Chains A and B, each alone.
Chain A
Amino acid sequence: MGILSASVSITRYKVEGTLKSPVMEKVLEGLKHNTIADIDQEPVETSAGWTSTNQPFFPDFEGSSFVLGPHFIFSLRIDTKRVPTKVVQKYVAMETKKKLIESGREYISREEKKMLKDHVINMLYRRVPAVPSIYDLIWNHETGSVWFFSSLKGANETVETLFLKSFNLTLVRLFPFTSALYDADLSDGQKDAVMATTPTSFMV
C-alpha cells in the first residue's frame, strides 16, 4: 500500500535513539547496505530490503533521492516465491522415478528422498518469479516519528527488524500504552498514573 494510494493504512512509530552525524550519510549508508536483493534467478524463498518509493523495482538512493523536506521517504520491499505443495510433490515423484530407472533399484533411501526434495525445491525456486510487496515509509527525523503504510503483522515485524539492522535505531510501535507514554506529552507523575489505571465498567 503506497503513499499515493486512494486509501491507506498507517502504523505509527517513535524512533528510539539518535543517529550520529552526518545524519543523511548515515541513512544513505543504512539504505544501501540493506537494499532489496533480487532473488528471481536464485534458489531463495524470500528477500526483504529497502527500495526507492518512486521506482520500487529500480532501487537507487543516490543524490539524496530519499529526502523530501524534513522527511526521509523510502519503502520496504518483501519479495516472496510461492511454490504449491502439489507442484513439489509432482516433481519429487518424477525425479524419484527417474532415479529408480537410472539406478535399476526398487527404492531409494530416506536420505536420498530428502536430497531429491531439496533439489526439486531449489530448482522450482529458480524458475518461479518472486511476488513483490511494497510498503512505503515516511520518517520525520526532526520529530523522531515514522509512519509505516501497512498494518499487516508480518510487514510491521519485518520493518522493525530491518530498521534496527540498518540504522541501529529501535522503532517503538505506538499503541495505547506506548502512545500514552511517548506521544501524549505527559509528566512523569502522569505516566505513573497511566500505569496504575485499571479498566472502567460502563455497564448500566
Chain B
Amino acid sequence: MLDVSIAYEKYKFLGYEFLTWLWFMSETDQEYLRGLNAEMVSMDVGNRLVVENRKSGAVETITIKGDDAGLEEARLALKKGALVSEINLIYKAGDQKWQFTVKGESLHLTALKIPETTPVGVVQSEEDWEGAVLEKTYLYEKAIMLVRQMYGGFVKLRIQNEWSNRIVPKMKSWISGSIG
C-alpha cells in the first residue's frame, strides 16, 4: 500500500477525469447514469464548474459561476487539455432535488443542499432533534450514495479497454463539439 499522501497526489487525476466524464455523461447519456443510480430522474451541471489545465507546468484555472452560465469556455479549455476540478451538480430523484459541489482532488462534497426538511426553528424537544437529524441523515445519504455509485461506475469503466477504445474517442468528439 502506498503512503496516503503520495497516493493522494499520484492518483488525483482520477478525480479530475471522473468529474470530466460526469459532465460528459450528464450531457450525452443520462440513461447510463440511471443504470448506476436507479432513483435518478436527472443529473445536470449546476451553478459552478471549475476546469484546470496542468499540462504546461503551471496551473491555469477557469471558473464558471451562475445559474444559467454558458459552459463553452470550459469546453474550450478541455480542448486544450484542461480537466474538471470542481463541479456543482443538480440531482433529481422523484420530486426531490439535491444540489452540491464535488471536488475532484478530494471527492469532498461541499455546499450540499438537500430537499426541504423540518425547519430547524421547529426543533425544540430531544425527540424533534432526533427526528430532524434522522431525516437529514437519510437525505445526505442519497447524495453520498449517488457519488459512490457514479465513482464506482467510472472506476470500473476506467480500468477496461473500453475506456481508451470507445469512451475517450467519444469524449473527444463531445469536447470538439461533434456530439452532445
Interface of A toward B, CB cutoff 8 Å: 3-4, 6-12, 53-54, 68-69, 71, 73, 138, 147, 151, 172-180, 183-186, 190, 193-195, 197, 199-204
A-contacting 9-mer, from B40-48, B62-70, B163-171: B163-171
User: Could you pull out 20 A-B pairs where Cβ atoms are within 8 angstroms?
Assistant: A6-B113, A8-B140, A10-B108, A10-B109, A10-B140, A12-B144, A53-B133, A151-B110, A173-B106, A176-B13, A176-B14, A176-B107, A183-B148, A190-B156, A193-B159, A194-B14, A200-B163, A202-B81, A202-B168, A203-B80
With A8-B140, A202-B171 as given contacts, are A68 and B130 in contact (CB-CB < 8 Å)?
A: yes
Name the B residues within 8 Å of A7 (CB-CB).
Answer: 111-113
Contact A147 B140 (CB under 8 A): yes
Shortest Cβ distance from A81 into chain B, in angstroms? 28
Count how many chain B residues have C-beta atoms less than 8 Å from C-beta atoms of the other chain.
Answer: 56
In the complex, number of A-B residue pairs with CB atoms less than 8 Å apart: 134
Cross-chain contact of B168 among A11, A12, A200 (Cβ < 8 A): A200
Name the B residues within 8 Å of A178 (CB-CB).
Answer: 4, 7
Interface centre among B105, B152, B171 (most CB of A within 10 A): B152
Interface centre among B2, B20, B79, B156 (most CB of A within 10 A): B156
Name the A residues within 8 Å of B14 (CB-CB).
Answer: 176-177, 180, 194, 197
Interface centre among B10, B104, B107 (most CB of A within 10 A): B107
Asked if B71 is at the interface of the complex by the 8 Å CB criterion, the answer is no
